[in-house]
Amino acid sequence: MPRLHKYRDRNACYVLTAVRGAVVTFQLSAEGEQKLAAARIGPGEKFPRALLLDLYRTGDAFTGGSAAASLALDSAGQLEMDFANDPDPETAFPACDVCGGVNDLYLTIRGKPEDLIAQLQCAACRNLPGTPSDSCIPLGVLSRPVLSRLFQVKTVAARSSGVKQFEELLRSEFESKWEALRKQRGVSQASLFNSGPSDGLNLSPD
């Protein structure tokens, strides 16, 4: 199960979890922190994988960025791998179609103009030599409407399994799972946005 952690040196949180045998660091937007705080998930606490999938889907949890790599090593000692029965499998996280990694994913469209292929690729794999990309878009900025619009203006011949899985995630509905957690923790819907969020990432005015 994912676990929320607080940065030692700033007023912001991140999430560590195991995906396909690797420790993955997810950074959070201010809204992402706020949603977890509203469900009374504090630093050090675990929460259902469905909620991290939902934060990922909305772009409020994302991988990549300079802080991620060193951070994961530093914090790995605190991470208990928890294989409790989480109903949403870790394989629900989209992964690179080439290497299976989940960090820093892009949707790439490449190939001949009449035979374009949409794939998910990580930083390393999208820089491998080969056909140059026609388009290369970070997953974090792709909402469901943006993705459908993209496929309207750009006719692709094939979508990889990773792309199909990402589309499925964008279609998923997780609100009932947030509500279940809030109920379990005795939070009423009315108090949802009353808890004070921390600064989030790089969002403070100074």
Structure tokens that stand for 167 in this block: 């589309």
Q: Which of 18, 92, 98, 137 binds Zn ion (CB under 5 A)?
A: 98
Q: Which of 24, 125, 142, 147 binds Zn ion (CB under 5 A)?
A: 125
Candidate ranges 31-39, 89-97, 110-118, 135-143; the one touching Zn ion (CB under 5 A): 89-97
Q: Which of 19, 122, 181, 187 binds Zn ion (CB under 5 A)?
A: 122
- Yes or no: say if 113 and 144 are a contact pair by the CB < 8 Å rule: no
Task: Give the Cβ contact number of residue 162 at 10 Å.
Answer: 21
Judged by CB under 5 A, does residue 41 bind Zn ion?
Answer: no
Judged by CB under 5 A, does residue 102 bind Zn ion?
Answer: no
> How far lies 172's CA from each of 69, 110, 145, in Å?
29, 27, 14
Candidate ranges 120-128, 141-149, 175-183, 197-205; the one touching Zn ion (CB under 5 A): 120-128
Nearest alpha carbon to residue 60 among 32, 79, 84: 32
Q: Residue 72, CB half-sphere, CA atoms under 13 Å: how many?
A: 17
Judged by CB under 5 A, does residue 109 bind Zn ion?
Answer: no
Residues in the chain: 206
Residues paired with 65 in a beta bridge: none
Judged by CB under 5 A, does residue 32 bind Zn ion?
Answer: no
Q: How far is the CB of 206 from Zn ion (least distance, A)?
A: 37
Judged by CB under 5 A, does residue 64 bind Zn ion?
Answer: no
Chain contacts with Zn ion (rule: CB under 5 A): 96, 98-99, 101, 122, 125
